[in-house]
Amino acid sequence: MNESLTSKFIEIQNVEQTFKTRKGPFQALQDINLTIAKGEFVALIGHSGCGKSTLLNLIAGLTMPTLGTLLCANREIAGPGPERAVVFQNHSLLPWLTCFENVYLGVERVFGAASKSTGAPAEKKAQLMARTDAALALVGLTPAAQKRPGEISGGMKQRVGIARALAMEPKVLLMDEPFGALDALTRAKLQDELLEIVARTQSTVVMVTHDVDEAVLLSDKIVMMTNGPAATIGEVLSVDLPRPRRRVELADSTQYLGYRKAVIDFLYTRQAHVEKAA
Amino acid sequence: MVSAVFHSPLSASAESLAIKKEAASAYFTGATGTNDAKIPVTTPAGKPSFDGRGLVLVVLPPVLGLVLLIGIWALVSISTSSSIPSPWETWKQALTIFADPFYRKGPNDQGVGWNVLASLERVAVGFGLAAAVGIPAGFVIGRFDFLGRMFNPLISLLRPVSPLAWLPIGLLVFKGANPAAIWTIFICSIWPMIINTAVGVQRVPQDYMNVARVLNLSEWKIFTKILFPAVLPYMLTGVRLAVGTAWLVIVAAEMLTGGVGIGFWVWDEWNNLNVKNIIIAIFVIGIVGLILEYLLIKIATAFTFEEVKS
């Protein structure tokens, strides 16, 4: 029982998603079947408009599937919740709160009241503040804690978003192109930090990306999606690169280049011509 | 609509300033979007001539505008053989009036200061009541689609009606000139606050609401931490428009209701054929309106934050 929970932490069964539009129903996803193990890092990759964010929103519980079921820890996903924390593409920090207050908002909600499921008692304010400080320290933002999002750089904002998600100690960390809006150098730095944090926290992560290198560098499993409409999972690639991974060493690794080639081959040879298909 | 009339050149420039401030992405404290921003700050302190030029560019245009106004006024005065008093005579009269603005010689003969204060009090009461009703109503209408569709036709129907048309209803219901004037202010200032608040609520970025859902925040937290701060700038725009309109309408309402007030004062001076005082009143009304607008813009910029780019 415990073992099946570990290997099938998230289960997606025959999921189909159809949106109502003015031109009639639009089928975004069909026949999605996927299992994600506890502690696994999964990347969802595909061309834009292939429904990878739609799939992430389904796991987050922000939208409900038209057909099929999604399970997390053997429970049906009925709505969004802090156990499945989301790092949004555009950081979505509240601009009128300081970085500390942004993180504290989630911490307070999760740990500020007695937990019904685990029976943990409500924590005191000092404990909640310590958790918030720890989360900010984890992403290296202790000096910026009292700044507002408007006063810090894009990379720092995204780090606060990650800290906010991690501070809630989620079962699953869902990331929707978290580094998409950043420049290449900042992105590389945050990827390295994420690798380190995930190694330390043993988090289960589902990340949407369109960056091949990012997917290969970070994930255990790359889920490649076909082009929409009615997109589905085209192929799942297991990445068996040893951890800890270092980008400089991997740059010459034939194994790494092989995985990279496989993803590029899928995206640009077999799933090319997005515009024509759409 | 009514509020658009309020945009005198002076207040318009104040407003464009505020917009510039916001656009300059100086969202909160550090906003230094005054006119000085145009002056290149790189000049070393040893070159006063350059600074002087910057100062001239800042000060000269408004002064020229004022000179032009007074020039035209003087020409009109001469061409009407002084039935419109000249700027100089009006200035002399203003000095005597403002030498003692707070005198009381009976109910219908009080200083201009008392009249302005009486008008401001009516505006404050009417506007306060309108805010107490209009802002919560705006939140509800913006948050619940059903109520929005229920009230939008009513608002569309009633909003274009001149607030003065409501004055007789006020006189009938409240049986008094003062409450009727306040009622008129209430009616004219409630619409911008309802509409702007409702629009603000509808425009709260979906990202913020998603954050609320993922964090599973309580309704109270959603309201205090997300909805209210996100709507505040819209709300304050509504407040600004409402105060502007109220200050426009109070003059007209007081002309009809009488009593003490700047509007009544204008009408009284017209009956006395004291045109100098009417012109002084026009300036007083303009300056008070300008001050109100300026204060509210200051408040609004203090509460405007950077939006998430989506």
Q: What is the DSSP string of B196-242?
A: HHHHHHHTS-HHHHHHHHHHT--HHHIIIIIIHHHHHHHHHHHHHHH
pLDDT band at A217 (very low <50, low <70, confident <90, very high): very high
Residue A96 contacts B, CB cutoff 8 Å: yes
pLDDT band at B301 (very low <50, low <70, confident <90, very high): confident
Bond preceding residue B107 cis, omega within 30 of 0: no
Strands A172-176 and A204-209: parallel
Which pair of structure tokens corresponds to residue B225? 């931490």
**Nearest of B202, B121, B198 to residue B159 by alpha carbon:** B198
Share of chain B above pLDDT 90, in %: 36
Give the residue-averaged pLDDT of B28-36.
39
Residue ranges of A 207-246 with Cβ closer than 8 A to chain B = none
CA–CA dist A278, A245 (Å, integer): 37
**Nearest of A201, A100, A177 to residue A141 by alpha carbon:** A100
Give the residue-averaged pLDDT of A40-52.
89
pLDDT at B13: 43
Mean per-residue pLDDT of chain A: 87
Q: B159 with B196: CB under 8 angstroms?
A: no
Residue ranges of B 192-231 with Cβ closer than 8 A to chain A = 205, 207-208, 210-211, 213-218, 221, 225-226, 229
Nearest chain A Cα distance for residue B29, angstroms:
11
Residue A167 contacts B, CB cutoff 8 Å: no
- Please state the length of chain B: 310
pLDDT at A3: 59
Nearest chain A Cα distance for residue B213, angstroms:
6
B86, pLDDT greater than 90: no
Give the residue-averaged pLDDT of A71-90.
88
pTM, two decimals, is: 0.72
Give the residue-averaged pLDDT of A83-95.
88
List of chain B residues whose C-beta atoms are within 8 Å of the C-beta of residue A95: 27, 305-308
Residue B27 contacts A, CB cutoff 8 Å: yes
Of A2-16, A73-87, B119-133, B162-176, minimum mean pLDDT range? A2-16
pLDDT at A5: 64
pLDDT at B7: 39
List of chain A residues whose C-beta atoms are within 8 Å of the C-beta of residue B25: 150
pLDDT at A37: 92
B23, pLDDT greater than 50: no
Q: Predicted ipTM? A: 0.81
